[in-house]
Amino acid sequence: MTDLNQLIIKFDHEKNFKDDDFYVSKSNKNIYDLLNIWPAWEKKFLNINGEKYSGKTHLIKIFVKKFNGIKFDANSFTNEDLKKIKVYENIILEDLDEKVNEKLIYSLLNIIDIDNKFIVITSKKPIVEINFSLNDLKSRMKNFILQKIEKPDDDLMFAIILKNLSDRQILIDKKLINFIIKRIDRSYDKIFNFIYKLDEFSLKKKKPIDFKLIKEVLGE
C-alpha cells in the first residue's frame, strides 16, 4: 500500500475545470450562487473581483459551460471582437484593468445595454476602483453588481492545497496540510507559490513531503 506521504510520480498536468472540482466555501459562495441563478440577476452587469488565483477563471468556465457565452481578454479586445458578440447573450471580459482600450470597452457596454445582453467582467480589484481616464466609462462601472472573492478560509485553503497536490500526483496526510495552513499567508498567490516550491523541493531532493521538508520550504 502506498504511504500517503510519498511522492508518487510527477506528470505534466492540466487544471481541471469541471463544476464539481470547484470548492464552494464562505469565501466564494455568494458569487457561485449568483452565477447559478442566471438570468435572475438584479442587474445584467456583473463584476467578479479577487486576487490572482482566487478562482475567477474557474467560475467563468463553469458559467460559460452551463449558460453559453463568449469570453475575451480585456486587454486584447478589438473592434473585430465587438462584431462577434451579436449572437451571444452572455459576454465575458476577463482581467480588466487600466490598460484597456477605454473607448472600445465603453462601446461594448453601450451595445450590451441596448441589445439587453448580460456581461460579466473579472478584475483584481472592484472595477469602480480602476482609475479610468474616460469619465463616461467610470460612470458605467457604477451600474455593475460588485462581487468580491474573499481571502480563503481554512476549508478553502485545505481544498486548494489538496487539489493542487493531487493534480501533481502527490498525496500527503491531512495533518501536513493543516500544518501548512497554520503557517502560510492567507493569500491565493502565496498558497500556489508555496505548492510549487514544495513540489520542486521534493523532486530535487528526492524526498517525500514531510514536516521537515515543509519547514525547509517555509524557511523555518
Please report, as a single letter, which amino acid is at residue 210: D
Sequential pLDDT tens for the chain (220 residues): 333 333 333 333 344 334 657 889 999 999 999 999 999 999 999 999 999 999 999 999 999 999 999 999 999 999 999 999 999 999 999 999 999 999 999 999 999 999 999 999 999 999 999 999 999 999 999 999 999 999 999 999 999 998 888 888 888 889 999 999 999 999 999 999 999 999 999 999 888 899 999 999 998 7
Which pTM value belongs to this model?
0.86
160: left (phi over 0), alpha (psi -120 to 50) or beta: alpha
Neighbouring-strand partners of residue 7: 170
Using DSSP, state whether 150 is helix, strand or coil.
Answer: coil
In sequence order, the 6+-apart residues with CB closer than 8 A to the CB of 17 are 57, 58, 61, 62
Domains of the chain with CATH codes: 24-148 (3.40.50.300), 152-218 (1.10.8.60)
Name the strand (E) or helix (H) holding 45.
Answer: strand 45-49
18-30 pLDDT per residue, tens: 465 788 999 999 9
For residue 118, report the phi and psi dihedrals to the nearest 5 degrees. -110, 145
The pLDDT of residue 169 = 85
Separation in Å, CA 125 to CA 56, 128, 149, 194: 12, 8, 10, 23
51-99 pLDDT per residue, tens: 999 999 999 999 999 999 999 999 999 999 999 999 999 999 999 999 9
The CA distance from 162 to 157, in Å, is 8
